[in-house]
Structure 1
Amino acid sequence: MRKVVQLVLIGLITMALAACNSSNTKTQGKEEKGKITVGGKDFTEQHILTKITSIYLKENGYEVDEASSMGSTVARSALENGQLDVYWEYTGTALMVYLKQDVETDPNKAYEKVKDMDKKNKLVWLNKSDFNNTYALLMRKDRAEELNVNSISDLADLVNKDPNTLKFATNSEFYAREDGLKGLEKKYDFSFPAKNVVKMDTGLLYNSLKEGQVDVTVGFATDGRIKGFDLVTLEDNNMFFPAYNGAPVVRQEILDKYSEVGDLLNELADKLNGDTMKELNFRVDVKHENVNEVARGWLEEEGLIN
């Protein structure tokens, strides 16, 4: 009986020591790196960016919590309140929605403005990526080539010459906004006849173009369906659409505690561009690949992780 008691005591002591060592190791790990909460909004591109960021930080020794699928204003408020530590934001969204500034179409000016204005909120805009997820006018590649339309100016000239040639698909928001269809027509000096403008839900726009129900649609510049449906983006040669370049935005407190985080996230920002985002979005939205696998695969391809 005494031997049994001794064995039980030894077992309990061993377990206690193991737990203590585990706790110490965990504590030491937090002291070396730390815990970071990565947020993201509720659409494919943001899911990919959230996963890329989370995986990369984890691979570099940080404990990461994810808070994805958030509304835009919810994500921003969570960052300001310290519930999030970092998420990817778009310059145009921050400028117009959160900071209540006028539209800025120049990517560099938009970035410098939000970067400067958010200092008072103790939020740091890290490097601006080259991907610009702004509005775009899209056509099927074969139709654009047939009509020799490469830019919005080309489109405007065609509509002015023959107003009934093209049908245009739009959602209700773009149709009604001054920085949407109305402003676009004013900027490029043309007008689609009302009977040739088809309003529909956002989710139907790309398929209606793919299936030839319309000739032109509004979309987003980094959408994966541009590649998947063999579409082309018309050049916004008069720079009408606002700049919506993505960038990691981090609380200043996090960079003060973990200075390495800024360098790591800048590496990601510097490697992402419009073609890359279209490809990643295509793989998730059109090929239906797993977001986690797409994100990890890209990090491995870029040599950022093993």
Structure 2
Amino acid sequence: MKRFIKPVMAMVLAAASTVAAADDVVVGGKNFTEQQLLASMTAQYLDGLGYDVDKRAGMGSAVLRQAQENGQIDLYWEYTGTSLINYNDITERLSPEETYSTVKELDGEKGLVWLEPSDANNTYALAMREDDAAERGIETISDLAAAVNDSDDLTFACNAEFYAREDGLRPLQQEYDFRFARPQIKRMDSGLVYPALRDGQVEVGLVFATDGRIQAFNFRVLEDDKGYFPAYALTPVVRQETLDANPELAAQMNQLSALLNDDTMAGLNAQVDVEKQTIEKVAESFLKENNLL
């Protein structure tokens, strides 16, 4: 009898272990406010749904993507334009819909599933102080290009990633036919660009379109009149194996994605960066307001 019970108990324990493993989800995030907010929001949301969540935020883009491809990260929020250009080497100019369908297909071949995109498009943008831009008569990036070509008194702040990436500064300057001289470029952490621009340490700064500090600091976002920057629709991306183990996860994440748009993300980001609330508290409050926690 004992010999019979032990194998049965072993099978029961193995089954229980399999169920538990299926509910393990590793949530990743990049190293800036919006991504840390989304990682916290996702982790709290899934934890409330009964998943065993391991949150690993604060990672660089390339490292995070590689970790997901290697199976170390199950789920994180990515931007369609980033995957299109940086991970799939597509430089052709596509519509937002084409961008999404392209990365969905190409990443699907790598075992990564793009769920429903949100209405938040956190594209890159160039910004100036409103009064300075008005005084110089700069409304578009073409206006900026003309001003840079006419003078060397405009300095530009951006992060090191934008300085080097394939959809970054060099091809932007080629598209608009201008060039900042090396001394005019100030590389710094993304979060430091905003106060540097606000305080007059630079005249132009690289910003993210959904950052709450744009409005709070009275910046003018320059019109991308040549349509250089691709769409960067914020979308949850999940490993296929993770979805296979958790069939309800796609619908659950799509429910969260449907709540996000430009204004919502800008407001959430401002609560952290301007009002100095904690990331965890802002994420928790948003989930509770929307009956997801």
Question: Is TM > 0.5 for Structure 1 vs Structure 2?
Answer: yes
**TM-score, L = length of structure 1:** 0.78
Residue 268 of structure 2 corresponds to residue 276 of structure 1: no
Alpha-carbon distance change, 151 to 302 in structure 1, aligned in 2, over 3 angstroms? farther
1:112 matched residue in structure 2 = 101
When structure 1 is superposed on structure 2, of 110-119 and 211-220 the one drifting more is 211-220
Secondary structure at the aligned position of 1:83 is classed as coil
Structure 2 partner of 1:232: 220
Report the AA paired with residue 126 of structure 1: L
Q: CA deviation at 1:120?
A: 1.4
Partner residue in 2 for 1:261: 249
Cα deviation for residue 196 of structure 1 reads: 8.3
Q: Is 1:46 the equivalent of 2:29?
A: no
CA–CA distance in structure 1, aligned partners of residues 240 and 170 of structure 2 = 40
On the 8 A contact 2:26/2:72 being kept in 1, the answer is yes
Quick check: 1:285 aligned with 2:273? yes
2:169 corresponds to 1:199: no
Deviation beyond 6 Å, 4+ runs, structure 1: none
Aligned to 2:168: 180
After superposition, residues 1-306 of structure 1 pair within 5 angstroms as: 30=19, 34-102=23-91, 104=93, 106-156=95-145, 163-164=150-151, 167-171=154-158, 174=162, 179-189=167-177, 191=178, 194=181, 197-203=184-190, 204-305=192-293
Give secondary structure in 2 for the equivalent of 1:39.
strand
Q: Please say if residues 85 and 166 of structure 2, whose CA atoms lie closer than 8 Å, have aligned partners that are also in contact.
A: no
Output one character per residue of 1:38-69: Cα deviation in whole Å (capped at 9) or x when no partner: 12222221111111111111222322221222
The answer on whether the counterparts of 2:121 and 2:262 sit within 8 Å (CA) in structure 1 is yes
CA gap of 1:299–1:166, structure 2 versus 1, over 3 A, is: farther
Q: CA RMSD in A?
A: 3.3
- Measured in 1, the distance between the counterparts of 2:79 and 2:112 equals 14
Q: Secondary structure at the match of 2:207?
A: strand
Change (3 A) 1:252 1:150: same
Distance 1:141 1:178 in 2: 29
Aligned residues: 280
Of 37-46 and 212-221, more deviation after overlay is shown by 212-221
Deviations 1:53-110 (A, max 9, x none): 1111122232222122223233223322322221111222222332233254532222
Rg comparison, structure with higher value: 1
Deviates more, 1:120-129 or 1:178-187: 178-187
Q: Which secondary structure state, in structure 1, belongs to the residue aligned with residue 225 of structure 2? A: coil
The 1:200–1:70 alpha-carbon spacing in structure 2 relative to 1, beyond 3 Å, is closer
Q: Quick check: 1:166–1:196 contact (8 Å CA) kept in 2?
A: no
Q: 1:284 offset after TM fit, Å?
A: 1.6
What 5-or-longer segments of structure 1 have no aligned partner? Answer: 1-22
Q: How far apart are residue 178 of structure 1 and its match?
A: 6.5
Deviation sequence 1:265-288 (CA, Å, 0-9, x none): 111212112222222222222322
Instruction: Give the conservation status (yes or no) of the 8 Å contact 2:155–2:204.
Output: yes
Amino acid at match of 1:164: S
